[in-house]
């Protein structure tokens, strides 16, 4: 896993015990997640269909773990200084 220093996008809050929020860039198919711990990760290759499922999921954390975290390459993000 790599760590990148980048400008972290604006995060949309979600109701979840594990996830604080997310941002999705449909043009790049990049899903950025902020965990409740405050860390940010970017997941690549996340389709619009997967995001639709995320939005509709009763448990965002369970859907994320099953359909995004376990299936997509990711990197940890750190805010640029």
- Which pLDDT tens digits describe the chain residue by residue (81 residues)? 677 788 899 999 999 999 999 999 999 999 999 999 999 999 999 999 999 999 999 999 999 999 999 999 999 999 776
Task: Report the alpha-carbon distance of residue 45 to residue 1 in Å, rounded.
Answer: 16
Q: What is the pLDDT of residue 5?
A: 82
- Using CA of residue 6, residue 10, residue 14, residue 17, what is the dihedral sign? positive
Short-list 5, 9, 8, 16, CA closest to 69:
16
Q: What is the pLDDT of residue 37?
A: 95
Token duo for residue 48: 């619009």
């Amino acid at each position: 896993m790599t760590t990148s220093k980048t400008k972290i996008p604006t995060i949309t809050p979600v109701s979840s015990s594990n996830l604080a929020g997310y941002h999705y860039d449909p043009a790049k198919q990049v899903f950025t997640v902020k965990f409740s711990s405050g860390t940010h990760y970017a997941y690549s290759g996340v389709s619009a269909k997967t995001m639709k499922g995320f939005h509709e999921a009763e448990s965002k954390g369970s859907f994320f773990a099953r359909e995004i975290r376990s299936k997509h390459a990711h990197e940890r993000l750190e805010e640029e200084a």
